[in-house]
Chain A
């Protein structure tokens, strides 16, 4: 590709950061020092567009922001047009194209934190550090809802670091209890030790998978009736079978750990507490669907989960549990971690492909579906973390035993004494779950499924996909956010509207402009209720639901609608 660069030189530090990721430039054509040979022969750079986001991260991590020179150097190294690289860099909220201090504090102002006093934290931070922008920023949900109100400080440098400023809690209040399936190791087994993982039943499921063969694994998963836990509840077995049968190769596996739905933190807790389980589950999924390469896309706000999984993947590789010949079975599979950079939309199953490939994280039109044309245009199976780790008990116990007590994770936060991730078998009621989490006041409403979900007041809802659907709500990603009388519901609605406005990718009109108009109408309604504005909200909401490209726009009005209809917020 013939690209025109700006000719701005990077600082030494920026160059070093990019070279540390990509290796030194092979020739002057890629940005190295010019030699005699370079003038005689032009070399053709291998396109490596998919390394664009990692390269942008490398500079952001080292310097704290991305300058013109740094972007130009990345473009030269990867043969990416600068306008496109700028479009990608400006898409992500964790990447800054303006100078920032090396240490930036991300103050969560999202739902669970707002219900637990983030406004006060914000005020204190502003008094100490001044207006937001260069030293601190408002942040959408950090996935630390169990520790609300939370802040995350990211420090750039040669060894980038991070720290969490939030109340300490036990992420799994049921820790160590008998009968836990998905959470049985979290908080009780050393997450860094592969030996401890194997001593507590690890890698039994993979051995069983090799006995069953790929078709056998898919049969067991289908028989177990496993459906996706990311929100859409699509049958996992069908997805795997459809991918496995595609004649086009290679097949790819993508684990969606871009958990950004406000109120969701289960995948973080599982990844931090039981990283090898995810690696084993990904290996089984890859074996069943014929993938040699898996991408684990972890959201950028999860540095601890990223660190634990990097360590676990490296350990598994040295022990022959990832690589060319897994467990001596001749099966080849490896996992590459990709970090998100602050974009809720990248959790959408096709936006995640664009993000990994180095494009703006905009959703693609479906059809074609990922099983047919996914990552790099090849058949791809995309699964959420919780969905994947459910494959382990299916293979360990057999589909019948699994169905008899199918586990589900719930992220309980808001006004409760014991927030955290709870595991309950399907069929428990909301009331039973809240009895465990202990609401601190009179429950006014429960937000199910996060910002894309809806409010309910009936605590006798059965927590199954069918039960919540019958009650006009959704399990979604398992968010159960409890709001009591102390919470300003109008404020929560405004925050939901602001969230969708900020996180809309901007591709389609209903969502790009509709989310803005929704927020404006809610601002007017919270001052004065008029029937015109209520009609307007409904029409815009219905258009977003009917005509948006992806699930973000389609669900952006759910919570507001339920608050108007069920909670009578604007009566």
Chain B
């Protein structure tokens, strides 16, 4: 089902010399994707307001002194965008190096591919390069927080806060390189405002937040996505009728996600839909 939108004016934007037509209000990233360009993104979330914190999607816009984050800047009529100039590819390379040298990107989809594409070599900062080092937080039975994998994209904070859940259990604390996602006074989740909706896990782009089921299976070495099937169904708990996508491996549900393009729930669930599958 695709909800009807009011008609929008179309504008022309020039991407790498090619004119593309996009609805007014689209971002440069939307225009680039319309033009068939593959721009890497990490902190961009399809259901959230762009925070443009990771700076991996930067492009050159004619007339702009600095590079421009394509995920958040609105396309304007006549804008001339270059997606793969020397400045933007060099910046993307260094940003990937900075991230990979400070956090663990091993469970970040496509990270390895982009690193190869841009020739990123995180090892050149040396063995002594400071890394984010925090013990993995396993303080409840439902999901795990491993901030060694966190790129501080703010998506979990936005999903927990006023963009979706309005629970405000977590926020960014500290400053600079020492910033981290935290509850108040770093209290365990069980003492926080967390309602275990798992919507933060849904939007996490790096696997820093993962379902306990997935975390345990990865630790055992039994997590195998090639053996998993995905079935989208409807949650049986209440009358809202949220879509659930059940990830099944060896005839067991291993995690539950929700389609982001659902016009009502946008990938959000509550604790029952997300975790209440034990009875199946």
Contacts and interface: CB of A to CB of B under 8 A. Distances in A.
Contact of B66 (A343, A514, A545): A545
A71 B152 CA distance: 24
Given A87-B172, A506-B178, A549-B52, A4 B101 contact: no
A45 B163 CA distance: 21
Q: Tell me the interface secondary structure of chain A in the complex.
A: helix
Contact of B55 (A4, A85, A508, A540): A508
Given A91-B175, A343-B175, A506-B177, A83 B182 contact: yes
Given A83-B183, A510-B98, A536-B125, A547 B66 contact: yes
B53 A507 contact: yes
Given A532-B124, A546-B67, A86 B184 contact: yes
Contact of A509 (B72, B151, B171): B151
A9 interface: no
A27 interface: no
Interface stretch (B17-25, B126-134, B215-223): B126-134
A37 to B, nearest CB: 27
A509 B153 CA distance: 9
Given A506-B152, A509-B98, A520-B126, A546 B66 contact: yes
Interface in A510-530: 510, 512-517, 520, 524
Interface string A83-111: 11111001101000100000000000000
Contacts of B171: 81, 83-84, 86-87
Contact of A546 (B54, B87, B161): B87
A515 B179 CA distance: 14
A514 B128 contact: no
Counting from the closest, the 5 A-B pairs by CB-CB distance are A81-B168, A506-B179, A87-B171, A82-B184, A513-B98
Given A365-B52, A543-B91, A547-B95, A86 B185 contact: yes
B124 A536 contact: yes
B130 A509 contact: no
A4 B177 CA distance: 29
A504 interface: yes
Contact of B192 (A68, A83, A367): A83
Contacts of B99: 509, 513
Interface residues of B, number: 50
Contact of A542 (B90, B129, B192): B90
B184 A517 contact: no
A199 interface: no
A360 interface: yes
Contacts of B125: 517, 520, 536
A381 to B, nearest CB: 22
Contacts of B101: 513, 517
B205 to A, nearest CB: 13
B174 interface: yes
A494 to B, nearest CB: 15
B38 interface: no
A69 B87 CA distance: 50
B193 A81 contact: yes
B224 interface: no
B139 interface: no
B271 interface: no
Contacts of B175: 90-91, 93, 343, 502-506
A319 interface: no
* Chain A CB within 10 Å, residue with most, of B53, B67, B99, B171: B171
Nearest to A68: B185
Count chain A CB atoms within 10 A of each CB in B55, B126, B151 and give the residue with the most.
B55
B78 interface: no
Contacts of A1: 166
A546 B23 CA distance: 28
Contacts of B193: 3-4, 81-83
Given A83-B170, A83-B183, A97-B185, 15 more contacts: A81-B171, A83-B169, A84-B161, A91-B174, A343-B175, A508-B55, A510-B55, A512-B176, A512-B177, A513-B98, A513-B99, A516-B177, A520-B129, A540-B94, A546-B66
A38 interface: no
A3 B177 contact: no
Nearest to A541: B94
A539 interface: yes
A68 B98 CA distance: 35
A338 interface: no
B157 to A, nearest CB: 9
B207 interface: no
B187 interface: yes
A8 to B, nearest CB: 9
Interface string B102-128: 100000000000000000000011101
Contacts of B52: 365, 508, 549
Contacts of A549: 52-53, 55
Interface string B40-74: 00000000000011111010000000110100110
A548 interface: yes
A445 B177 CA distance: 31
A256 interface: no
A253 to B, nearest CB: 27
A501 interface: yes
B191 interface: yes
Contacts of A512: 152, 176-177, 179
A93 B179 CA distance: 13
29 contacts: A4-B193, A6-B191, A71-B184, A83-B168, A83-B182, A86-B183, A87-B171, A87-B172, A90-B173, A90-B175, A97-B185, A503-B175, A506-B152, A506-B179, A508-B53, A508-B54, A509-B53, A510-B91, A512-B179, A517-B101, A520-B129, A524-B126, A539-B90, A539-B94, A542-B87, A542-B90, A542-B94, A546-B87, A546-B91
A516 B54 CA distance: 16
Given A83-B171, A506-B174, A507-B53, A554 B69 contact: no
Interface in A466-503: 501-503
A292 to B, nearest CB: 28
B54 A513 contact: no
A543 B90 contact: yes
Contact of B94 (A360, A505, A543): A543
A512 B132 CA distance: 12
Contacts of A515: 176-177
B176 A6 contact: no
Nearest to B154: A507
A44 B44 CA distance: 35
B173 A87 contact: yes
Contact of B95 (A510, A520, A554): A510
B192 A540 contact: no
A56 B168 CA distance: 19
B178 A514 contact: no
Interface in A414-460: none
Contacts of A84: 161, 168, 171
B182 A86 contact: yes
A509 to B, nearest CB: 5
B168 A503 contact: no
A2 B169 CA distance: 12
Contacts of B174: 90-91, 506
B130 A520 contact: yes
Contacts of A91: 173-175
Residue from A510, A514, A549 having most chain B Cβ neighbours under 10 A: A510
A493 B273 CA distance: 55
B184 A6 contact: yes
Contacts of A360: 172
Q: Which of B52, B95, B175 has its CB near the most chain A CB atoms (within 10 A)?
A: B175
